[in-house]
Structures are given as structure tokens and as C-alpha cells.
Chain A
Amino acid sequence: MSEGLQVRNISKTFGITKALKDVSFDIQPGTVHALIGENGSGKSTLTNMLTGIYTMESGKFILDGKEIHPKNQVDANNQGISIIVQELGTLSGLTVAENIFLGHEEQFMHFKFYRDTRAMNAEANRLLRLYGFDRIKAEHLVDDYNFEDRKLIEIVKATYFKPRIVVIDETTTALSQEGREELYKHMARIRREGNMVIFISHDLSEVLDKSDNITVLRDGTYIDTVKAKDVNEDDLKKLMVGREMTGNYYRADYGEKVSEEVTLSVRHVSVPGIIHDVSFDLHRGEILGFGGLSESGMHEIGKAIFGASYDRTGEVELEDGTHINDIPTAISHSIAYTSKDRDNESVVMNQSIRDNIALPSLNKLTVGKTKFLSWARIKAFAARYAKEMSVKMQGTHQFVSELSGGNKQKVVLARWIGKGSDIVVLDSPTRGIDIKVKQDIYQLMDQMRKDGKSIIMISEELMELIGMCDRIIIMKDGALNGEVPRSKDLDENKLIQMMV
């Protein structure tokens, strides 16, 4: 009998797509085991089967010498497996304690029908204190807490019963630096206690830093398992993509002079409770970065410029004197915006790629000077820009909901390139996107910069800010907290100091 988890010949098909093909590997007890691969490589499919979210098809999971078949998440919990997911995993309308013990209430039940809420809250509060999350109270509704705190609640929910395996599925992309540190601490603790963590992340430096072994998947097939200490980021990229990455990842130039010409000036902009008295200028051909903790208000900056903030005060002015106060004005004056919340705010999910790309440009895609739309021109327009962005699709009639995250982002970018926007605000443009598409996006940004367009890049990934921006503004508690020019010697630590 062997300890740990053995994954044996796991396959899974969805319709005609083979999501996993005969995948086998081992996870040693007392390790953090990373699972990496591009989008669609099968990482989440594998862990979703392990945690009972998807049904098994063929193959086996053997945990500590015993074959397991989780039927659902609660069943998986009982067999010693839990998961923390990328998006919100807590249920609104329930208290913190009810969320933590969801599906495991029987320990507080008397005579099968009376739930001892007081005992449950006390136990939950004890756990929260144990984890060091004292500010979270078990009796409160989870709705009272922000995204970050709700993730912390999930950490408690997923680990308090000391499961053998905890799956952490791309959770870190949604967390700020602070939240990540909390999560890392608990990963280390689980490992120390001799249990296992399956860690899924797109951030390779984090993967190398935090895990012991790394398994690489590509297109549903097992590629290799390596020890983290034997490899570097380039080795991993090569394994994931299956070929050498060519060309530069980020832009390569340093010391280029940015034009003095101001294309957009932001003056004393405030949004109650989120940002406070922010002023800055954006220059022609400049990439201006915004960094900070996710609660620092930097995401609201993008919305404020685009006229999408509720209750904004202050001025956003273009070089020709136009004031931007609502979205249609912003768009007609050549401002583009891609949201961090791609699925809700950037793409219209249940609509075709064609309509998504053409939507802001419809006014010019008409028959002559009339108000009547020209469907031929719309089709040609969408096809042209989808092709320019090399969107992977079956045709522009395909619905956006069927595309991967990276391709959705390409559709959004195609929309704004087609519109010919001169000021482009990108909020977390590479969030949850694989390396190949990331590189495409970086190259596109570099090209736009050279074409004289101005870009604002808001990102939680400090490396890409350092790699791409002419200037980085760091935000803290809703206000500007420092500005750093582009330089070769800039490192993350200097920025982090300004953030916290």
C-alpha cells in the first residue's frame, strides 16, 4: 500500500472533445503539487473529477491505497478531498458559519431536526480565530464581507477538517498580495501536516516558488512531472507550449522618450468610498500602468475614465476639451475599455462574435449615409478584425460563450481595434489567460503604442506592469501613492512597499 494520491489512466470526454486522455501521475504525501498547462489543457477537468463536480469516466484515483469515487462535493469532503475555486465559492444569504459547515451540519443537529446554531457559531468563531481571521464573525452574513474576505472564509471551509488533499484552483489570480500571503501560509501548513495540496495557477513564478513538484498537461495529455527546484520558468513554458517561445515576451526597449503631448487628463476624480481625489495625465504613445492591492481602487480608475462609474465627481478631459461623463460619449471620442469582469462587462456572452465585434461600430456600418445597417459590411468588418486578432473560432456566427478566456479577450480587443480607439484602458487584460495569448496581447500593446495610441494598463500582476509600462502609478486606499518610471532595475519589492 502506498501513501499519497495515484492518478491512474484518467480519461474524460465532453461530447466529441477529449478533455483528458489517459492521464497518470503520483502525488507524494506532504507536498504541494502544482498542475500547469494552457487554458483547455485539462487541469480543471481533472480536479473537478477528483472533487466530485464531474462524474468519472474511466481510470482511477487511489488515495492512500484505497480507490475513491466521489459522487459530489460533500462526498469528496468525507473522503478527505476539498477544493477552493477561482470565483466565489461561498453562498450569499447564509452566515459565515453556515457557509463553513455547509453539507456538514449534522454535527450540530439534535434529534435530526433541531440545529444548534449557537454551538455552530461558536465552533466557527473558534476556527476563524485559529486561522487568524479574527475580523470575520461567524454570525454575520457572508454578504457583509468583500471578495477577499470571502476567499478567506473559503480557506477555512476547505481546510478546517484537515482533508488529505486540498485543491486550489487558480484562486490566487483573484486575490491581492495580502490574500495570497494568507493562502500561501495555509498551503505551507497543510504540507507540514503531511497532507497534500494540488495547486493550479497560471503564474509560473508563484508555481516555482510555492510547490515541490509540477505536473504539466497539454491538450488533455500528460507531458511530464518535474521537481520545482530543477527547472526555471522558461523550461516550464517550453513544456506547456510544446515549442520554444520565440520573440520577446514583454517589450524590450528601455529609455525611449515618451511624447509630452497630453491626450487625456484626469483632475480631482473621486468615487465615494472607492477612489479619492485622483489626478494624472496620459501622454500620446504611452503605456501608463496602475498597480496596487485589488481593493486599492485601481480598478475603479478605468471605469471612471470610461464614464462608467456611478456617482463620480471631478473631471476627465480629452485634449480637445471634451469632458467624458458617460459611456457613449467615451466611445464616440475614441476611448476603449476592457473590464476585469470579462464575462459580464466586456463580452455579451450569449451573442455571436460578429455582433460583439461590431456593436460599438454599428453607426458607421450602414448602407451609405442612411440609418439602415449593412449586414454585408458588418460581416466583413467582424471577419476582418477577428482574423487580425487571430481569434480561434468556427466563424464569426459562433457564440462568444463557447470561447476560452483568451479568445474572449481577443474578441474584445478586436472590437476596439475595429473602432479605431486612440485611448485604450485595459483592466487586467491577461487575467486567467495562457502564455501564448498573453504574449500576443503584449505584442499588440507594443504595436499600439508605436502607432501613437495611449494605453492605461491596470493590473494585479506586477511583473507585466514592470515589463510593459512607461510609467507605473501605485495606488493605496483609493489614492495615488507613488509613481515609478520605466527602468531595467525596477523590481517587484519596490512596488510592493508602496502598495502596503
Chain B
Amino acid sequence: MTQAVAANSKEKQLKSAQTMKLVRALLPIIGLVLMVILFNFLTNGRMLRHLPLAMSQVYVIMIASMGVFFIMTVGGLDFSQGSILGLSCIVVCYVSNYSIPLAIIAGIATGAAIGAVNGFFYVNRKIKSFIVTICTMFLFRGLIKYLTTNSPVAGSAELIMLDSTTFKVVCTAVVVVIGYICFTFTRFGTDLKAIGAGEKAAMFAGIRTDRMKFFIYVLAGAITGFAAFISAIKIGSVTSSGGSMLETQILIALVLGGMPISGGAMVRFENCVVGSLLYVVLTSGLTMIGFTPQLMQLIQGIVFLIFVAVFADRESLTVIK
């Protein structure tokens, strides 16, 4: 009798744990829908009518956040994304005067090179990832400022001609779909999650953890290098502040998307897609209502803090590398 009761309550507990998991997985999506409805209501439908404008920020953030998503899955962090974007943008603009395809490749290569610097210090020199990437953020921001001292670096006219919503949507979709397939249906995602959940054990299960960690920093850099191309066709030139704050925007987007800060097995690919949409809806919605940029940063900070406080998985927080 008592055993039956115990089994019953155990089942109940299991069920409630599963419900909780489901809620956690669905909350960002529900939040996104509610946010869209709310802002449309507040702006009398202006947001939907001007959707391309409202969404103009999302392409760069979504592409770049995918790279950071991979990094955070293994339990690392990357604060250098803004500087990677800025520097890659400069390279893209510069090379676009010769050839557009070459400009894309050069942008990706620049990003990958900076990613390799991050990866080298993180993996080979065993320095914590946030320290390494804060250093490179600073270092390459300095380089960007130096390169743009006299005037902004302008891209060729051809570059700006490419700027169309269709083109940007297609580019973003292609990158995201490739990322999704690799992460969900190949070893790649499983290995990353295993490293995030327990690096040593993952190594003893046959994963080349160091090689993998280095590779994803290079990959994240390369992805942001591609995002730099999208950013360049939109703006057409780079100033000294090109790409600044991108790292924070990505971090907020991922956390809004329900990404566990310490990575690991609970990570889902939707986190980066839903998160960046949510972030952009939030910021452009607030702008349309009439908040000043200064006030918006304050609101973003508060929202970020609340999400982290509510959703942080405290038990595994200590494993951020």
C-alpha cells in the first residue's frame, strides 16, 4: 500500500519535472509571440506594417549568435564578437572594391583568424575564455580605431547595391539551416553538448575535446565574418564603433532564447533563433513606442538580469570556462 503511494508520488514528481522542462523550452517561444502581439497593439500595428525595417537588425545578430551559441554549448564565452564584426567589416569594405566574392571570403577569413587567436590562448595556453576574449575585444577594437582614424572605411557601390531584404533573409536562412542540421543531426552537436556537460568524461569517451574547442572558436569567428558581409551591405561603410556592443547583444539574445549559461546537455538550437528574434522585437518595439536609446539600454539590462536570475541552472553554473 505505502509502496504504491510512493510509486504514485514518484510518478507525479517525474511528471511535474517534465512539465517544468517543457515550460522552460516553450517559454521563449511564447514570450516571442506575446511580445509581437503586445508591441503591435501598443504601436497600432505599425510594427507589422514596417516589418522589414523592424527586422533589419536581426540578420547580423542571428548569424553571429549562432557561432557564440556553439561556443556557449561547450561552456565557453566570447566577448570579442563585436570587434570581430568591426574588423571583418573593414576588410569586406576594403576588398569589395576589387571583387565581391573575394570580399566575402576575406571577411570570413578575418573572422576565422581572430577566432583562431581566441582558440589558441583558450585551448593551448589554458586561459579562461572570457578573459581571453575580453583581451582580444580590446585589442582588435584598438586596431579598428586605428584603421578608421582619418575617415570611415567605405565599401564599393556594388556592395550597397546588394542590400535587399530578400537577399539578407536568404543568406540568414541558409546559414541557420546549415547550422541547425549540423547541430541536431550529426555528431557535431552531440559532441559539443558532451564537452559542455563534462569535458574530461567527454575526452575519455573518445572526443578530441581540445581540437573541437579550438575549431568552434575559429568557426564562430568565421560565421561572424560572414555576418560582417551582411552588415557591410546594409551600412556600406565602417566607423570606429562598427560592431561595438554586438557581444552584449548576442549574449542577451541567447539568454532570452533560454540558453543555459553554462552550456551542456539542455542546450537546444532554437535558443539562438528564438533569442535573436526576441531581442530584436524587444528593441525595435521599444524604439517604436518612443524610448530613447539611453533608456533602452537600461531596460535591456534589467530584462537580462531577470532572465538570468530566473533561468540560471545554479547547480552547473560553476563550470563556465
A contact set with B: CB distance below 8 Å = 15-16, 18, 306, 308, 326-328, 330-332, 337, 339, 344-352, 355-356, 359-360, 362-363, 371-373, 394, 399, 415
CA distance A277 to B266 in the complex (A): 45
B200 at the interface (CB under 8 A from A): yes
CA distance A179 to B284 in the complex (A): 66
A359 & B185 in contact (Cβ 8 Å cutoff) = no
- When distances are taken between beta carbons in the complex, the residues of chain B under 8 Å from A15 are 13
Interface pairs A-B: 10 shortest CB-CB: A348-B198, A331-B206, A350-B197, A351-B265, A351-B197, A359-B205, A348-B201, A372-B185, A348-B197, A16-B9
A344 & B200 in contact (Cβ 8 Å cutoff) = yes
Q: Which stretch in B41-49, B86-94, B146-154, B187-195 binds the other chain?
A: B187-195
State the Cβ distance, A361 to closest chain B Cβ, in Å.
Answer: 10
B14 & A360 in contact (Cβ 8 Å cutoff) = no
Given A15-B13, A355-B265: A349 in contact with B197 (beta carbons within 8 A): yes
Given A15-B13, A328-B206: A373 in contact with B187 (beta carbons within 8 A): yes
- When distances are taken between beta carbons in the complex, the residues of chain A under 8 Å from B198 are 344, 347-351
In the complex, which residue of chain B has the Cβ closest to the Cβ of A367? B185
24 residue pairs bridging A and B, Cβ less than 8 Å apart:
A16-B10, A18-B6, A308-B203, A308-B204, A327-B206, A328-B206, A337-B204, A344-B198, A344-B200, A345-B200, A346-B204, A348-B194, A349-B201, A351-B197, A351-B264, A351-B265, A355-B194, A355-B265, A359-B206, A362-B187, A363-B187, A373-B186, A373-B190, A399-B265
In the complex, which residue of chain A has the Cβ closest to the Cβ of B316? A350
CA distance A345 to B202 in the complex (A): 8
State the Cβ distance, A279 to closest chain B Cβ, in Å.
Answer: 25
Contact of B194 among A306, A331, A359, A399 (CB under 8 A): A359
State the Cβ distance, A289 to closest chain B Cβ, in Å.
Answer: 22
State the Cβ distance, A300 to closest chain B Cβ, in Å.
Answer: 14
- When distances are taken between beta carbons in the complex, the residues of chain B under 8 Å from A356 are 205
Interface centre among B12, B186, B201 (most CB of A within 10 A): B201
State the Cβ distance, A265 to closest chain B Cβ, in Å.
Answer: 22
B202 & A348 in contact (Cβ 8 Å cutoff) = yes
- When distances are taken between beta carbons in the complex, the residues of chain B under 8 Å from A331 are 205-206
Contact of A360 among B181, B197, B205 (CB under 8 A): B205
B206 & A346 in contact (Cβ 8 Å cutoff) = no
- When distances are taken between beta carbons in the complex, the residues of chain A under 8 Å from B208 are 326, 328
CA distance A372 to B264 in the complex (A): 21
Number of interface residues of B (CB under 8 A): 28
In the complex, which residue of chain B has the Cβ closest to the Cβ of A349? B198
In the complex, which residue of chain B has the Cβ closest to the Cβ of A332? B206
Interface flags, B264-276, vs A, CB<8A=1, else 0: 1110000000000
A362 & B190 in contact (Cβ 8 Å cutoff) = yes
In the complex, which residue of chain B has the Cβ closest to the Cβ of A363? B187
State the Cβ distance, A480 to closest chain B Cβ, in Å.
Answer: 25
- When distances are taken between beta carbons in the complex, the residues of chain B under 8 Å from A372 are 181, 185-186
- When distances are taken between beta carbons in the complex, the residues of chain A under 8 Å from B193 are 351, 355
- When distances are taken between beta carbons in the complex, the residues of chain B under 8 Å from A339 are 204
- When distances are taken between beta carbons in the complex, the residues of chain B under 8 Å from A327 are 203-204, 206
CA distance A344 to B201 in the complex (A): 6
State the Cβ distance, B141 to closest chain A Cβ, in Å.
Answer: 35
In the complex, which residue of chain B has the Cβ closest to the Cβ of A350? B197
Interface flags, B138-172, vs A, CB<8A=1, else 0: 00000000000000000000000000000000000
B201 & A346 in contact (Cβ 8 Å cutoff) = yes
In the complex, which residue of chain B has the Cβ closest to the Cβ of A329? B206
In the complex, which residue of chain B has the Cβ closest to the Cβ of A341? B200
In the complex, which residue of chain A has the Cβ closest to the Cβ of B185? A372
State the Cβ distance, A414 to closest chain B Cβ, in Å.
Answer: 13
CA distance A359 to B12 in the complex (A): 30
A373 & B185 in contact (Cβ 8 Å cutoff) = yes
B265 & A415 in contact (Cβ 8 Å cutoff) = no
Known A-B contacts: A327-B206, A344-B201, A360-B206. Give 5 more (CB < 8 A): A16-B9, A345-B201, A350-B197, A372-B185, A399-B265
- When distances are taken between beta carbons in the complex, the residues of chain B under 8 Å from A328 are 206-208
- When distances are taken between beta carbons in the complex, the residues of chain B under 8 Å from A352 are 265
In the complex, which residue of chain A has the Cβ closest to the Cβ of B264? A350
Interface flags, B109-153, vs A, CB<8A=1, else 0: 000000000000000000000000000000000000000000000
Q: Which residues of B from 183 to 228 have beta carbons under 8 Å from A? A: 185-187, 190, 193-194, 197-198, 200-208
CA distance A18 to B6 in the complex (A): 9
State the Cβ distance, B193 to closest chain A Cβ, in Å.
Answer: 7
B185 & A394 in contact (Cβ 8 Å cutoff) = no
State the Cβ distance, B266 to closest chain A Cβ, in Å.
Answer: 8
CA distance A326 to B203 in the complex (A): 10
A355 & B204 in contact (Cβ 8 Å cutoff) = no
- When distances are taken between beta carbons in the complex, the residues of chain B under 8 Å from A415 are 205
B206 & A350 in contact (Cβ 8 Å cutoff) = no
CA distance A331 to B208 in the complex (A): 12
- When distances are taken between beta carbons in the complex, the residues of chain B under 8 Å from A330 are 206
- When distances are taken between beta carbons in the complex, the residues of chain A under 8 Å from B203 are 308, 327
- When distances are taken between beta carbons in the complex, the residues of chain A under 8 Å from B205 are 331, 348, 356, 359-360, 415
- When distances are taken between beta carbons in the complex, the residues of chain A under 8 Å from B10 are 16
State the Cβ distance, B7 to closest chain A Cβ, in Å.
Answer: 10
- When distances are taken between beta carbons in the complex, the residues of chain A under 8 Å from B265 are 348, 350-352, 355, 399
- When distances are taken between beta carbons in the complex, the residues of chain A under 8 Å from B187 are 362-363, 371, 373
In the complex, which residue of chain B has the Cβ closest to the Cβ of A326? B208
Interface centre among A15, A18, A339, A356 (most CB of B within 10 A): A356
Interface flags, B223-255, vs A, CB<8A=1, else 0: 000000000000000000000000000000000
CA distance A348 to B200 in the complex (A): 8
CA distance A371 to B9 in the complex (A): 42
Contact of A351 among B9, B13, B194, B204 (CB under 8 A): B194
- When distances are taken between beta carbons in the complex, the residues of chain B under 8 Å from A326 are 208
CA distance A451 to B186 in the complex (A): 33
Contact of B201 among A18, A347, A373, A399 (CB under 8 A): A347
CA distance A18 to B264 in the complex (A): 31
CA distance A289 to B283 in the complex (A): 65
A359 & B190 in contact (Cβ 8 Å cutoff) = yes
